[in-house]
Amino acid sequence: MAKVSINLATGSVQKEEIIVGIDLGTTNSLVAFINPDGNPQVINDTGKGVLVPSIVHFQKDGGVIVGNDAKEYLITDPENTIFSVKRLLGRSYHDIENQKGLFSYKIIDDNTESLVKIKVGDKFYTPIDLSAMILKELKDRAEHALKTTVNRAVITVPAYFNDSQRQATRDAGKLAGLDVLRIVNEPTAASLAYGIGLNPHEEKTIAVYDLGGGTFDVSILKIQNGIFEVLSTNGDTFLGGDDFDRAIVNYWIEQNKLVETELTPEVQQALRLKAEEAKKALTTQNIYNDFVNEIPCAITKITFQDLILPKVLQTIQCCKNALQDAGLTIDDIQEVVMVGGSTRTPLVKQQVAEFFQKAVHDQINPDEVVALGAAIQSDILAGNRTDILLLDVTPLSLGIETMGGLMDVIIPRNAKVPSKAGRQYTTSVDGQINMKISVYQGERDLVKENRKLAEFDLTGIPAMPAGFPKVDINFLLNADGILTVQAIELRSGVKQHVEVKPTYGLTDDEVEKMLLESIHHAKDDVAQRMIIEARTEGEQMVYTVERFITKNGAYLSEDEINETQNYIAALKEALKSGDKDTIHKKVDELNEYTRPFAERLMDQAISTAMKGKEI
Ligand code: ADP
Ligand code: MG
């Protein structure tokens, strides 16, 4: 919906700038917008088609081509043809170590914890650079088709993408000249395209089944008050339509008694492309018959289905796992949304419908549905659909390290994003002028079991007695799940902040592992937390009382000082033992014994102050 606004400063009429929705896929990418009728529509830049294969080819003359034209070079010039770059986005070499054999281009291993780089010729590119090239192509196509500049976009990512991968996606957008207004989960976008979740009063649990070219994932979403909560995700990052093509190629090779290694790269590539064509044809017809050079390429729908059934059943197993992880059964799922080009295959639809025991949503083109949903999201952000507010949630808790290495959660797991929360802290030692702030992500009580995101120092706190400074720590988690932490000492106004950009990300398995471990260790954690808290309290008590005696010894008798020292010694002994009940007991005893001193001191101070002020 185009809006017209008037710039009051210049008096000129401005056309509301268009915001596009982008599906940056592993195999294909595409862009959509909201047309003048208010409906989402994919951009078809005349003659070039809707889908842009996510492939970048570096040409000998230094030129770069993206999309269909680049696809031709996959087999003939593999070293200079980059595909599946989404798999590398926001990843460290360490993350992809056991997948590196699957890339025909050169991935650089300089430091296992830093983000990967790709070498083409004598130049290095990051996955962000390469994704930006794909995004730039989409931006150009949109501008060409819409005859206007396009500067703002919503980009989708898989639900299991972590902070680092989301941040990398956002950076790629920036590099392509796009202001990325929001990073949205692909299943969320797909359900929006079907209008699911658009009504803020709607409450639903849905399954989104996404079978693309090289990846499969299924997400269980709970939609409530316009909030999309990811209850679970499951899948296989190496299962997709490519496997179906591969199965057909193998079948033809076998039928024709060929030896694959004896075929030229050109013939291998031609067979692969022919297999994809056959697979697509078999979506609507029962038999396919053609040739590559002299090689007969024939296959029936029935044979094709036999070949791919094991792969399809594998995806069904993932659906089972996802349901189980969400603690749900099939009866709890109200809608099933089909996403990804490979769900066009009738056997896939049929198996999924059979498993969930209900008709699936397949009315919208499955390879366009995510981009269409992203366009709807952009329309919401543009303020054209004021009736809804879309929110996602954060998958892991965020917090800081407090005394004794404990995790103090500031934004809990499953909090809505954007989200803002804060808490006040103070110093534990007299004259403390620095405070180290360590930010962690995870569900365990001890920070060492969680993942460190950042660390910074709040410096320049004026020297004050322990407990005096008031340090406000604020967490701001923006709508993309990117965290900014700010610390401010209120008495002095000293301020520090960091934007948390993890150097390398967690894999979905790691997130799952962290959650499972937190459940598994919940009991140990509570016990350990109680000991640490008791110890921290005890140490603090010793420190406070010792300081009190040094400062105010003059007001106490010698006996009182000696007795206090005895209580302190007993508490110190208990601290060494590490037994929380004993520590608590000794803290209480010391407290009990010394409390009257403080009261006496107070009375003394008051009577001194009152002297000579008689009325
Ligand atoms: P991704 O999200 O991974 O980028 P897509 O959703 O675009 O991928 O899906 C691409 C896959 O869909 C390819 O393997 C392609 O061959 C397959 N595909 C496209 N059209 C059809 C069809 N008519 N029948 C079966 N598979 C199809
Ligand atoms: Mg996709």
Which CATH number covers residue 332? 3.30.420.40
Across all residues in the chain, what is the average pLDDT? 86
Identify which of 1, 168, 33, 3 has the alpha carbon closest to the alpha carbon of residue 87: 168
- Give the N- to C-terminal CA distance of the chain in Å, as an integer: 78
- Check whether residue 230 and residue 250 sit in a common domain: no
Which ligand ends up closest to the CA of 212? 1
Residues with CB under 5 A from ligand 2 (ion): 25, 212
- Please check whether residue 1 lies inside any domain of the structure: no
At 577-589, the pLDDT tens digits run 888 889 989 988 9
Identify which of 128, 5, 110, 114 has the alpha carbon closest to the alpha carbon of residue 56: 128
- Please check whether residue 9 lies inside any domain of the structure: no
Residue 518 has pLDDT above 80, yes or no: no
For residue 395, what are its two tokens?
A: 């998958």
Show Cβ contacts of residue 421 under 8 Å, excluding neighbours closer than 6 positions: 410, 411, 415, 474, 475
**Residue 387 — pLDDT band, cuts 50, 70, 90?**
low
Residue 594 CA to ligand 2 centre (angstroms): 67
- Check whether residue 531 and residue 574 sit in a common domain: yes
Helix axes 558-577 and 522-552, enclosed angle (nearest 10): 160
Identify which of 572, 564, 544, 549 has the alpha carbon closest to the alpha carbon of residue 428: 544
- Check whether residue 513 and residue 426 sit in a common domain: yes
- Please check whether residue 8 lies inside any domain of the structure: no
Q: Is the CB of 233 under 6 A from ligand 1?
A: no
Tell whether pTM > 0.75.
no
User: What pLDDT is attached to residue 391?
Assistant: 54
Determine what percent of the chain is predicted with pLDDT higher than 70. Answer: 88
Least confident of 21-30, 362-371, 400-409: 400-409
- Please check whether residue 372 lies inside any domain of the structure: yes
**Residue 12 — pLDDT band, cuts 50, 70, 90?**
very low
Q: What is the CATH number of the domain that holds 293?
A: 3.90.640.10
User: What pLDDT is attached to residue 83?
Assistant: 94
* Most distant pair of Cα atoms in the chain: their distance: 118
The residue to which tokens 């929001």 are assigned: 182
Least confident of 206-210, 362-366, 451-455: 451-455
- Please check whether residue 497 lies inside any domain of the structure: yes
**Which of 9-23, 235-249, 483-497, 552-566 ranks highest by mean pLDDT?**
235-249
Q: Mean of the pLDDT values across residues 107-123? A: 83
What residue spans of 207-345 are helical by DSSP H?
A: 241-255, 265-281, 301-326
- Check whether residue 103 and residue 172 sit in a common domain: yes
Residue 559 has pLDDT above 70, yes or no: yes
Residue ending a domain, among 352, 374, 393, is: 393
Minimum CA distance residue for ligand 1 atom 11 = 213
For residue 330, what are its two tokens?
A: 């099939």
User: What pLDDT is attached to residue 612?
Assistant: 44
Q: Is the CB of 212 under 6 A from ligand 1?
A: yes
- Check whether residue 260 and residue 229 sit in a common domain: no
- Check whether residue 338 and residue 414 sit in a common domain: no
Residue 348 has pLDDT above 90, yes or no: yes
At 36-80, the pLDDT tens digits run 888 999 999 877 889 999 999 999 998 999 999 999 888 889 899
- Check whether residue 501 and residue 546 sit in a common domain: no
Q: What is the CATH number of the domain that holds 403?
A: 2.60.34.10
**Which of 310-324, 399-413, 548-562 ranks highest by mean pLDDT?**
310-324
Positions annotated as catalytic residues are 23, 86, 186, 210
Q: Mean of the pLDDT values across residues 175-194? A: 94
- Check whether residue 417 and residue 497 sit in a common domain: yes
To test the pocket of ligand 1, the residue of 367, 368, 369, 372 to mutate (highest count of ligand atoms within 8 Å of its CB) is 367
- Check whether residue 420 and residue 358 sit in a common domain: no
User: What pLDDT is attached to residue 181?
Assistant: 87
For residue 4, what are its two tokens?
A: 């017209």
User: What pLDDT is attached to residue 454?
Assistant: 81
User: What pLDDT is attached to residue 548?
Assistant: 83
Least confident of 11-25, 291-305, 368-382: 11-25
User: What pLDDT is attached to residue 504?
Assistant: 37
- Check whether residue 284 and residue 321 sit in a common domain: no
Q: Mean of the pLDDT values across residues 187-203? A: 90
| Vertex 334: Cα angle to 23 and 305 (nearest 5) | 65
Strands 52-53 and 56-58: unpaired
- Please check whether residue 2 lies inside any domain of the structure: no
Residue 477 CA to ligand 2 centre (angstroms): 26
Residue ending a domain, among 336, 361, 393, is: 393
Query: Would you list the DSSP string of 396-443?
Result: S-EEEEEGGGEEEEEE-TT-EESEEEEEEE--SSTT---EEEEEEESS
Q: Is the CB of 158 under 6 A from ligand 1?
A: no
Question: What is the amino acid identity at position 516?
Answer: L
Minimum CA distance residue for ligand 1 atom 24 = 280
**Residue 510 — pLDDT band, cuts 50, 70, 90?**
low
Residue 527 has pLDDT above 80, yes or no: no
Q: Is the CB of 367 under 6 A from ligand 1?
A: yes
**Residue 246 — pLDDT band, cuts 50, 70, 90?**
very high
Query: Would you list the DSSP string of 334-386?
Result: -EEEEESGGGGSHHHHHHHHHHHTS--B-SS-TTTHHHHHHHHHHHHHTTS-T
Q: Mean of the pLDDT values across residues 358-386? A: 91
Which residues span the domain enclosing 132? 16-240+307-393
Identify which of 343, 293, 365 has the alpha carbon closest to the alpha carbon of residue 23: 365
Q: What is the CATH number of the domain that holds 534?
A: 1.20.1270.10
The domain tally of the chain equals 4
**Residue 5 — pLDDT band, cuts 50, 70, 90?**
very low
Which ligand ends up closest to the CA of 240? 1
User: Which atom of ligand 1 lies at the shortest distance from residue 214's CA?
Assistant: 3
Residue 21 CA to ligand 2 centre (angstroms): 13
At 460-509, the pLDDT tens digits run 888 888 888 889 999 988 766 678 888 999 888 888 877 764 433 455 56
User: What pLDDT is attached to residue 13?
Assistant: 44
Residue 119 has pLDDT above 70, yes or no: yes
User: Which atom of ligand 1 lies at the shortest distance from residue 51's CA?
Assistant: 7
User: What pLDDT is attached to residue 262?
Assistant: 93
Q: Mean of the pLDDT values across residues 163-180? A: 91
User: Which atom of ligand 1 lies at the shortest distance from residue 276's CA?
Assistant: 16
- Please check whether residue 10 lies inside any domain of the structure: no
Query: Would you list the DSSP string of 279-293?
Result: HHHTTT-SEEEEEET
User: What pLDDT is attached to residue 412?
Assistant: 83
Residue 30 CA to ligand 2 centre (angstroms): 10
The residue to which tokens 């990804």 are assigned: 340
**Residue 188 — pLDDT band, cuts 50, 70, 90?**
very high
Residue 279 CA to ligand 2 centre (angstroms): 18
Which ligand ends up closest to the CA of 42? 1
**Residue 511 — pLDDT band, cuts 50, 70, 90?**
low
User: What pLDDT is attached to residue 491?
Assistant: 86
Q: Is the CB of 528 under 6 A from ligand 1?
A: no
The residue to which tokens 């009577």 are assigned: 607
- Please check whether residue 283 lies inside any domain of the structure: yes
Q: Mean of the pLDDT values across residues 372-400? A: 77
- Check whether residue 300 and residue 446 sit in a common domain: no
Q: Is the CB of 544 under 6 A from ligand 1?
A: no
User: What pLDDT is attached to residue 14?
Assistant: 43
Structure-model confidence comparison of residues 295 and 482, the more confident one: 295
- Check whether residue 365 and residue 445 sit in a common domain: no
User: What pLDDT is attached to residue 392?
Assistant: 60
| Cβ–Cβ under 8 Å, residues 31 and 142 | yes
Residue ending a domain, among 277, 306, 335, is: 306
Distance of alpha carbon 136 from alpha carbon 139, whole angstroms: 5
Residue 410 has pLDDT above 70, yes or no: yes
User: What pLDDT is attached to residue 602?
Assistant: 64
